[in-house]
């Protein structure tokens, strides 16, 4: 159930959101619920990821206007094994859920606090943000919508409840969310039109995009779901011929085949691409179809990823369930 | 069973990108059904031939 809060500390309460995020982070550190808080901190005009271990430093915590970094992947790469409290956007939290399924991080050691996008004015959203279906991080231990002077918070686990209690917040009057989410609905609908184009057009479009690629591996490195220690796309694996630019189109089709069943639409691939290839658009487009076929919502469902599992009832079916589209 | 799921995923992938998913086929044939295997392959080769060259085959060489 959603309730409204602000910090009891006067100085903290003057911060955006009534200092709730800071109070919660401080409580986590003081209670020893985590070794450190991993979130976004403001760096002048921009945000950067920060791992804060000192209760005094939590004032630096901020809510980014867009998913600037894939926090879950950074936890896997740099903070594995440590007890961490992530203060991330919904896409960060969903990535944590998926990485935990792939044994890339231990969910018992990662406490999740979700910063909802539903409270944020979407001034310069990324294209993938426009397509996002998860403005609220209901899969986190604790989800927070940050308002001007207070926050709305909802707990989803015992851990989240304990953390909220420990923060010792004061109740605040309810406030209306800015409503930026609804305003972008028209732009969001426009993001889904490519699928209707005919096959030849689609092929020409995607091949011309792939031909811009300079094989920097930025997409592969940034993707939270690319967790293989030995990547099939590396030089010397024999799949994608080396010494060729643009790389064989198989590079992108292969990554697509490996990741599409669980694509989170976090947009890190597209953000990382120096050639501005709309990768998230393709991956998310395919993923939406697969999500319908497999009935799987990545980052939300606790079921294992579809491509490494099957249902017993499928043994009775030996024909393809996919009807080709012309 | 895993192959079946990947096969369905692959067909959806090919269609999403704009290639013809009919280029890929999955059939369950036992090792002892040699004749059926040969027949299936022959038919499928003809179908592929009718579909024409694979779009991935067309390679452009970029000048440095």
pLDDT tens-digit series, residues A74-133: 999 999 889 999 999 999 999 999 999 998 999 999 999 999 887 776 555 788 888 888
- pTM score of the predicted model: 0.87
Chain B positions with Cβ closer than 8 Å to A: 1-2, 4-13, 15-22, 26, 28, 55-56, 60, 62
Structure-token match 């094994």, residue found? A81
Distance CA A213, CA A282 (A): 15
Q: pLDDT at position A30, please?
A: 93
Quote the pLDDT of residue A324.
Answer: 44
Cβ of A310 and B1 within 8 Å? yes
Closest partner residue to B15 (CB to CB) among A249, A253, A325 is: A325
Per CB-CB distance under 8 Å, the chain A contacts of B54 are: none
Cross-chain Cβ contact A308/B2 below 8 Å:
yes
Contact between A322 and B13 using a beta-carbon 8 Å cutoff: no
Start-to-end C-alpha separation, chain B: 46
Contact A293 B4 (CB under 8 A): no
ipTM above threshold 0.90 = no
Q: Which of A75, A77, A325, A65 lies closest to A195 in space, CA to CA? A: A325
Residue from A295, A278, A24 nearest A142 by CA: A24
CB pairs under 8 A between A and B: 85
More confident residue, A126 or A223: A223
SS3 assignment, position A214: coil
pLDDT of residue A321: 45
Cis peptide before A246 (omega within 30 of 0): yes
Chain B residues touching residue A290 (CB < 8 angstroms): 9, 12
Contact of A222 with A71, CB cutoff 8 Å: no
Judge whether A107 and A59 are in contact, CB under 8 Å. Answer: no
Q: Does A240 touch chain B (CB under 8 A)?
A: no
Distance from CA of B36 to the nearest CA of A (A): 16
A249 touches chain B (CB under 8 A): yes
- State how far the Cα of B55 lies from the Cα of A84, in Å rounded to an integer: 47
Pairing of β A151-155 and β A170-171: unpaired
């Amino acid at each position: 159930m959603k309730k409204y809060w602000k910090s009891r500390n006067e100085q903290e309460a003057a911060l955006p959101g009534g200092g709730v995020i800071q109070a919660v982070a401080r409580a986590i550190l003081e209670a020893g619920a985590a070794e450190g808080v991993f979130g976004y901190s403001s760096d002048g005009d921009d945000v950067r990821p920060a791992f804060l271990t000192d209760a005094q430093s939590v004032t630096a915590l901020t809510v980014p206007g867009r998913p600037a970094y894939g926090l879950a992947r950074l936890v896997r790469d740099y903070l594995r094994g440590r007890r961490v409290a992530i203060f991330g956007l919904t896409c960060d939290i969903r990535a944590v859920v998926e990485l935990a399924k792939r044994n890339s991080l231990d969910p018992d050691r990662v406490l999740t606090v979700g910063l909802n996008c539903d409270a944020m004015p979407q001034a310069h959203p990324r294209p993938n943000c426009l397509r996002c279906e998860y403005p609220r991080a209901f899969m986190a231990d604790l989800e927070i919508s940050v308002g001007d002077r207070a926050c709305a918070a909802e707990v989803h686990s015992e851990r989240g409840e304990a953390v909220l209690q420990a923060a010792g917040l004061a109740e605040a009057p309810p406030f209306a969310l800015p409503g930026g989410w609804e305003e972008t609905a028209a732009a969001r609908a426009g993001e889904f039109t490519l699928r209707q184009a005919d096959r030849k057009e689609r092929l020409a479009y995607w091949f011309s995009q792939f031909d811009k690629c300079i094989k920097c591996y930025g997409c592969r490195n940034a993707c939270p779901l690319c967790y293989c220690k030995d990547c099939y796309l590396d030089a010397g694996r024999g799949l994608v011929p080396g010494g060729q630019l643009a790389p064989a189109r198989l590079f992108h089709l292969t990554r697509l085949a490996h990741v599409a069943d669980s694509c989170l639409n976090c947009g890190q691939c597209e953000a990382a691409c120096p050639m501005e290839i709309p990768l998230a658009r393709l991956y998310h487009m395919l993923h939406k179809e697969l999500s319908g076929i497999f009935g799987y919502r990545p980052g939300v469902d606790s079921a294992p990823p579809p491509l490494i599992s099957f249902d017993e009832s499928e043994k009775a079916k030996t024909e393809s369930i996919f009807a080709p589209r012309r | 069973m895993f192959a079946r799921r990947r096969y369905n995923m692959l067909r959806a992938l090919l269609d999403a990108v704009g290639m013809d998913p009919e280029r890929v086929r999955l059939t369950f044939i036992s090792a002892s059904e040699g004749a059926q295997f040969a027949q299936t392959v022959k038919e499928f080769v003809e179908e592929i031939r009718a579909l024409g060259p694979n779009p991935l085959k067309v390679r452009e060489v970029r000048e440095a």
